[in-house]
Amino acid sequence: MAKLIDGKAIAAEIRAEIAAEAREFQEKNGVAPGLAVIIVGENPASQVYVRNKHRACEEVGFRSFGYELPADTDEEALLALIDKLNHDKAVHGILVQLPLPAHLDEEKVLLAISPEKDVDAFHPYNVGRILIGNYDFLPCTPAGVMELLARSGIEIAGKECVVVGRSNIVGKPQALLLLEKNGTVTVCHSRTKDLAAVCRRADILVCAIGKPEFFTAEYVKKGAVVIDVGMNRRPADGKLCGDVDFAAVEPIAAAITPVPGGVGPMTITMLLKNTFTAARKQGAK
């Protein structure tokens, strides 16, 4: 039976550490770390994510500033708000919830966020710094995976790591981070030939493709560590599930993350961590 990597418990542990440090920070600086979250339009999934981010800030004693803009907000107004927040000393981190409505240029909007307040680490400046291994912020989901591995005592150096998925927010940065920790990294995608055979080489398999329960037993080597980043609805019952067929893979793996309760709770936790880093970097102690 695999060891269950309990993302909920690990996230709670990190949030408690952040809350304690935030109290100290506030005493020294007279301000709490502050996160501004901008949402444009009324995408229900985005609204849930944004609510969770505000709640997480409250839980650790951060200030959160919410900006809910109508779906027809023009680019000029959005850029003006970002510019205002870039100069606001109470705001240490700025996040624009994606996706944006189609008439807004996502790239232009993300470029407008000051790199020192870019707590999602999506700005090309921060992406470049991650590539050369000299960074302040890491994208939240792959950073969360690295924390799960570290806090579960899973060694990466010298291991065969296979990352399936090559998106800018998960797969690519995940591969870089595993490489930084001296893993031997293979990145797979929709054109990879004989995916199951490549995955079976993995000591550490990270699944991030967005296909419900796609990874069955034939993709997993006995004793592998399996990290399931996927967040999907199972077609049969509409319930939340990962990219991994948990029931089939769990008996083979040495360790595995469940969905829900694995990678998911780590993502917002890493956002809090980035916001704290930003606050410290912006002159506070």
Catalytic positions are 53, 97, 120
Q: Under rule CB under 6 A, which residues in 23-82 are in contact with ligand NDP?
A: none
Taking CB under 6 A as the binding criterion, the range among 112-120, 127-135, 205-213, 219-227 that sits at the site for ligand NDP is 205-213
Pick from 29, 86, 167, 186: which binds ligand NDP (CB under 6 A)? 167
Pick from 11, 37, 39, 164: which binds ligand NDP (CB under 6 A)? 164
**Sheet order of strands, 160-164 included:** 3-4, 255-256, 225-228, 204-207, 160-164, 184-188
CB of 27: closest distance to ligand NDP in angstroms? 32
User: Contact between 200 and ligand NDP (CB under 6 A)?
Assistant: no
User: Contact between 113 and ligand NDP (CB under 6 A)?
Assistant: no
Taking CB under 6 A as the binding criterion, the range among 95-103, 128-136, 163-171, 173-181 that sits at the site for ligand NDP is 163-171
Q: Under rule CB under 6 A, which residues in 212-271 are in contact with ligand NDP?
A: 229-232, 263-264, 267
Q: Under rule CB under 6 A, which residues in 128-147 are in contact with ligand NDP?
A: 141
User: Contact between 198 and ligand NDP (CB under 6 A)?
Assistant: no
CB of 215: closest distance to ligand NDP in angstroms? 10
- Residues in the interface with ligand NDP (CB under 6 A) total 25
Binding residues for ligand NDP, per CB under 6 A? Answer: 141, 164-167, 169-171, 188-192, 195, 208-211, 229-232, 263-264, 267
